[in-house]
Amino acid sequence: MARYDSLLDASGGTPLVGLPRLSPTVPDGAPPVRLWAKLEDRNPTGSIKDRAALFMVRAAEEAGRLRPGDTILEPTSGNTGISLAMVAKLRGYRLVCVMPENVSIERVQLLRMYGAEIIFSPAAGGSNQAVATAKQIAADHPDWVMLYQYGNEANARAHYETTGPELLHDLPTITHFVAGLGTTGTLMGTGRYLREKVDGIQVVAAEPRYGELVYGLRNIDEGYVPELYDATVLSRRFSVGTRDAVLRTRQLVEVEGIFAGFSTGAILHAALAVAHEAVRDGRRADVAFVVCDGGWKYLSTGAYGGTLADAEDALEGQLWA
């Protein structure tokens, strides 16, 4: 389908494309091992988060939590804010985003362009400061609505109802699904759907491993696990460092012409790992992975060119996924 009533209706239905050059070669007579990329950058604001934003807003409307003219509050340094800003604009809400002042300039420009208001929290304080700022804002504005993507079932449901069925329709022979682990919504929703439909499906998580600055000095007892996370949905979980993520992101554009953000590089790294294992074990594999967004928002990091060590330095201390 190529005609839609509005931009909101054009979310999802993204292409799944084969990667014939990046897929590992198998010995003569061995079963094929193929990589497939789900191009989520083809969503209305250019990221997979459009699916969750739309489902969360619709769920809040149906529950009577959101009424025309209401204000949505979202603490985010990433794509969710941009998706919500678009959905809020088209559905008639005001969006206030809270973010650390050290996020990339492209993100601030995009949010403002879509009409979002931004409250900055001091970068120096890291997540502790973000907690303090968020509490203050919530106390000052008790009528603002927060969708809380980390615990909102509509986030995972978006993927159970759309991403999962799309993948199975386009790739009935799927053996592995690989995606990034942040809110965990993509993996929980798509993973649950595929587990119900595909015997032996492997659901594989790739999580970014940032530089030390990001983990900070917080006590281990103050750690966070999103409420949506259910470890039984996953088969395996990989931690991918900055260097590997940058290397794969560059490889994806150099070899297959797909220009993606760094979280996609981390996911591709895990996808290649399971693909090469399948080759070693002589098993057939159709490995589908998520391209979360395009690389445009990250160009100013400078991490697409120069040496890998330079790129690693450029991303040190940044939330690149």
Partner 1 sequence: MAIEVRIPTILRSYTGGAKVVEGAGDTLGDLLADLDSRHAGLRGRLVTEAGALHRFVNVYVNDEDVRFLGALDAKLNDGDSVTILPAVAGGAFGFAAAAAIAAQVSQRAALAAR
| Closest CB to partner 1 among residues 29, 224 | 224
Q: How many residues does the chain have?
A: 321
Helices 79-91 and 49-62: angle between axes, nearest 10 degrees:
40
Least distance to partner 1, CB of residue 319, Å: 6
Q: Exactly one of 11, 23, 47, 49 is catalytic; which is it?
A: 49
Which residue is it, tokens 């403002």?
A: 112
Supply the minimum distance, in Å, between the C-beta of residue 5 and partner 1. Answer: 31
Residue 316 CB, shortest distance to partner 1, in Å, is: 14
User: Would you give the DSSP letter of residue 216?
Assistant: T
Locus of tokens 């204000």? 71
Rounded distance between C-alpha atoms, residue 264 and residue 270, angstroms: 10
The rounded radius of gyration (Å) of the Cα atoms in the chain is: 19
- Is residue 263 part of the annotated active site? The answer reads yes
Q: Which residues bind partner 1 (CB under 8 A)?
A: 73-78, 80, 98-100, 121, 126-128, 130-135, 137-139, 142, 146, 148-151, 180-184, 205, 207-209, 212, 214-226, 231, 234-241, 263, 319, 321
Q: Which is nearer to partner 1, 5 or 140 (CB)?
A: 140
- Residue 89 or residue 236: which is nearer to partner 1 going by CB? 236
Number of H helices and number of E strands within the chain?
A: 11, 10
**Closest distance between partner 1 and the C-beta of residue 191, in Å?**
13
Judged by beta carbon, residue 208 or residue 265, the one nearer partner 1 is 208
Report the distance separating Cα 237 and Cα 51, nearest Å: 23
Measured between alpha carbons, how far is 206 from 71 in angstroms, rounded to an integer?
A: 33
SS3 category, 37: strand
Geometric angle at alpha carbon 181, from 306 and 318, rounded to 5°: 40
Query: CA 59 to CA 154: how far, in whole Å?
Result: 7
Q: Closer CB to partner 1, residue 21 or residue 141? A: 141
Rounded least distance, CB 138 to partner 1, Å? 4
Nearest to partner 1 of 97, 258 (CB atom): 97
Q: How many CB atoms lie within 10 A of CB 302?
A: 13
Compute φ and ψ for 113, nearest 5 degrees.
Answer: -60, -40
The DSSP string of 284-319 is -EEEEEEE-BBSGGGGGGTTTSS-HHHHHHHHTTS-
Catalytic residue among 11, 47, 83, 263: 263
Q: Which is nearer to partner 1, 128 or 173 (CB)?
A: 128
CB 171 within 8 A of CB 197: no
How many angstroms separate the Cα of 37 from the Cα of each of 32, 83, 207, 313? 16, 21, 18, 28
- The nearest distance, CB 273 to partner 1, in angstroms, is 8
Q: Is 49 a catalytic residue?
A: yes
Cβ 251 to partner 1, closest distance in Å? 17
| Catalytic positions | 49, 263
